Chain A
Amino acid sequence: MIWRAFASEWVKMRRRRLWYGSYGAITGVIVLTTIVTIAGALHHANARGDLTLAQLGHASGLSQGLTQSGVLLGAVSFSIAAFQFGGEFAHGTLRNLLVRQPRRTALMVGKCLAVLTFLIGAVVAATMVAICAAFVMAHLRGISTDAWTSGVGMTDLGTLLGDLTISACGFAIIGMIAGVLLRSSVIAIAAGLAVLLPVETILTDAIPGTARWLPAQLLEAIAQGGSSAAPFTAALATVSAYLVGAVLIALFVFVRQDVTA
């Protein structure tokens, strides 16, 4: 049953405009942060500890630009997922789906898996394009890329890709939950982005220590492989607990609610 829902969702997600829009946005975000990071690297270290060209020449240099894309990538992932779920309520298509597949849990899980595979594909493809852009930028700025292609460099890149994917999937799951609970893609995207970006940022700045507890801050930390405020393992554990709880609530609501749209 989950497979049917998965295959059904992929019929929708194969449409060209969704690919251009989603893959374009995600690729744009990752490539842009990569280019800006390399273009802005300093020749000499400064007091603030900003990134230098020498640092970019290390094995982890290739990953430096990609790590900065976590929040923007999350915002795009959140929006895509909220659109896919909230849109079913807003357009009234959910009733058609539920008549053909009354097992609501299977429907939601199948759709969720389809959206996540779509996003994982987008992140991987975007990362490939960003790597190409990084090599071009390195050439332009005279950065040696020998260390990037070493074993350590590749491992570093693989780890970063995994972290980015986990972070994007976390944002996407929050987007799906928002779509189900708010029953509208527009409201889910607007409210969700408002809470995840400015509200969380203000809270983090205003109340020390909150970065360890706020979901978007934790997902950003995961994308960066952990931060001083939220180490990777702690961030992953906390976010996982949040997501499991939220998914269970969303499933409960989705299974029980009357479909009047």
Chain B
Amino acid sequence: MSAAALATEPVVQALERGSNSYAVATLGLTKRFGKRLAVDGLDLRIPAGSITGFVGPNGAGKTTTIRMLLGLIRPSAGRGTVLGHPLGNARAYLGRVGALIEGPTFYPALSGRENLMVLAHLGGISGKRVDVVLDRVGLGARGLDPFRTYSLGMRQRLGIGAALLPNPELLVLDEPTNGLDPYGIAEIRAMLRSFADDGMTVFVSSHLLAEIQQICEHLVVIEAGRLIFQGGVEELLAARAPELVVRTESCEDARRLLRLMTRIGRSAQMTGDDEGRTLEIAADCNWAGDLNRLAMADGITLVHLAERRATLEEAFFEITRNCGEKTPGKGEPAGAAADSDRSSGARGAGAARP
């Protein structure tokens, strides 16, 4: 069993005893379709009350994982809890879970309100709640129109409305911004923030890493069905060294600055932008003053100096590229994360599997 799995075992046991630190925790969750391994021993922990992003390339196993959490697919192996109830007993927790899975699918001929009424009847939810939800997602005025006349953004909002019907403690949204324009994405982003403000745990999968970076405080990254990172978004970004971006007055200055950095042992490289006047230097903003003084002393004129933090996209590409090459305990988040997680409780530190 991996270090992360060893760390998760007591978490799952605690959850089965009624602990509420995590809304979702799994141990060795696995799904095999014939010979194809879709999800491979996933040790997932979603802190209660957080907005957790679920990220991975196409076919990484995100939707299969979500379907297992919702009782739509039986795991081939592993176990876990959702809102304190075992995965195998979905009926015990689904009444407190809202979900939008793989886009909004509704009956085209029925109105938005009727579509929600279908689900409300099924879940024993009152008709008044349907109207509340329609207003909440901004469809109150179009609730009587047929679903087939809805725009993509309205369809997504109706899907989120359906997920909100039971007034859930856990909201699971699979690609809620798929196909939306920037305005639609901003709307969904604001909506997710308001849900979190209401105390919901939001678990959202998305390809849009910039969106995830903006709204999520916790992150789960999987690739080829395996967990390669989970922990705070800032934690992942901090793991990648910050850079100073410097633009000089001339190309000659840039070349001299590069030689200067090499001489003092700083990693630096030309970016190829601005006709060869821009360099990236591995250092954080605390060293910016020193850099400026060094440049001035060498007669180099800097016209721009700024710190550039890694984006989630860059961090994502880096960890997905490295996940097959490195093993836990060699400086990656894995080992340290598993250890720190034992003591950090609900926040959950980075953990990775080989």
Which residues of A are in contact with B by a Cβ distance under 8 Å? Answer: 4-5, 7-9, 11-12, 15, 17-18, 91-93, 95-103, 107, 256, 258-260
User: Are B118 and A8 touching (Cβ within 8 A)?
Assistant: yes
> How far, in angstroms, from A100 to B91 measured CA to CA in the complex?
9
User: Are A8 and B121 touching (Cβ within 8 A)?
Assistant: yes
Q: Which residues of A contact B107 (CB under 8 A)?
A: 12, 91, 93
- Cβ-Cβ contact count across A and B, 8 Å cutoff: 82
User: Are B105 and A102 touching (Cβ within 8 A)?
Assistant: no
Q: When each residue 119-157 of chain B gets 1 if its CB lies under 8 Å from chain A and 0 otherwise, what string results?
A: 101111000000000000000000000000000000000
By beta carbon, the residue of chain A nearest B113 is A11
User: Are B67 and A260 touching (Cβ within 8 A)?
Assistant: yes
User: Are B109 and A15 touching (Cβ within 8 A)?
Assistant: yes
> How far, in angstroms, from A136 to B317 measured CA to CA in the complex?
78
Judged by DSSP, the binding face of A is helix
Cβ-based interface call for B184 (8 A)? no
Cβ-based interface call for B300 (8 A)? no
> How far, in angstroms, from A9 to B119 measured CA to CA in the complex?
10
Q: Which residues of A contact B245 (CB under 8 A)?
A: none
> How far, in angstroms, from A99 to B117 measured CA to CA in the complex?
14
Given A11-B117, A107-B122, A259-B72, 12 new contacts (CB under 8 A): A4-B124, A8-B118, A11-B118, A11-B121, A15-B109, A95-B70, A96-B162, A99-B94, A100-B94, A258-B67, A260-B67, A260-B72
By beta carbon, the residue of chain B nearest A10 is B121
B interface residues, how many (CB within 8 angstroms): 29
> Given A4-B122, A102-B71, A103-B91, does the pair A95, B101 have CB atoms closer than 8 Å?
yes
User: Are B110 and A99 touching (Cβ within 8 A)?
Assistant: no
By beta carbon, the residue of chain B nearest A9 is B118
17 pairs of residues in contact across A and B, judged by CB atoms under 8 Å:
A11-B110, A12-B110, A12-B114, A12-B118, A15-B109, A15-B114, A17-B109, A91-B107, A92-B102, A96-B105, A99-B70, A99-B94, A99-B99, A102-B91, A103-B91, A107-B122, A260-B72
Determine how close the nearest CB of chain B comes to the CB of A161; give it in whole angstroms: 30
User: Are B105 and A8 touching (Cβ within 8 A)?
Assistant: no
User: Are B118 and A99 touching (Cβ within 8 A)?
Assistant: no
Determine how close the nearest CB of chain B comes to the CB of A9; give it in whole angstroms: 8
Of A8, A15, A259, the residue contacting B119 (CB under 8 A) is A8
> Given A258-B73, A260-B73, does the pair A100, B105 have CB atoms closer than 8 Å?
no
Q: Which residues of A contact B67 (CB under 8 A)?
A: 95, 258-260
User: Are A259 and B105 touching (Cβ within 8 A)?
Assistant: no
User: Are B90 and A102 touching (Cβ within 8 A)?
Assistant: yes
Q: Which residues of B contact A93 (CB under 8 A)?
A: 105-107
Determine how close the nearest CB of chain B comes to the CB of A172; give it in whole angstroms: 20
Q: Which residues of A contact B70 (CB under 8 A)?
A: 95, 98-99
Determine how close the nearest CB of chain A comes to the CB of B115; give it in whole angstroms: 9
Cβ-based interface call for B97 (8 A)? yes
Among residues 45 to 72 in chain B, which have CB atoms less than 8 Å away from a CB atom of chain A? Answer: 67, 70-72
By beta carbon, the residue of chain A nearest B109 is A15
Cβ-based interface call for B12 (8 A)? no
User: Are B105 and A91 touching (Cβ within 8 A)?
Assistant: yes
Q: Which residues of A contact B114 (CB under 8 A)?
A: 11-12, 15
Q: Which residues of A contact B309 (CB under 8 A)?
A: none
Of B91, B106, B123, B166, the residue contacting A4 (CB under 8 A) is B123
User: Are A98 and B118 touching (Cβ within 8 A)?
Assistant: no
User: Are B97 and A99 touching (Cβ within 8 A)?
Assistant: yes
User: Are A97 and B122 touching (Cβ within 8 A)?
Assistant: yes
Determine how close the nearest CB of chain B comes to the CB of A107; give it in whole angstroms: 8
Cβ-based interface call for B165 (8 A)? yes
Q: Which of A12, A100, A101 has the most CB atoms of chain B within a 10 A radius of its CB?
A: A100
User: Are A258 and B72 touching (Cβ within 8 A)?
Assistant: yes
Q: Which residues of A contact B207 (CB under 8 A)?
A: none
> How far, in angstroms, from A260 to B118 measured CA to CA in the complex?
21
Cβ-based interface call for B74 (8 A)? yes
> How far, in angstroms, from A178 to B197 measured CA to CA in the complex?
46
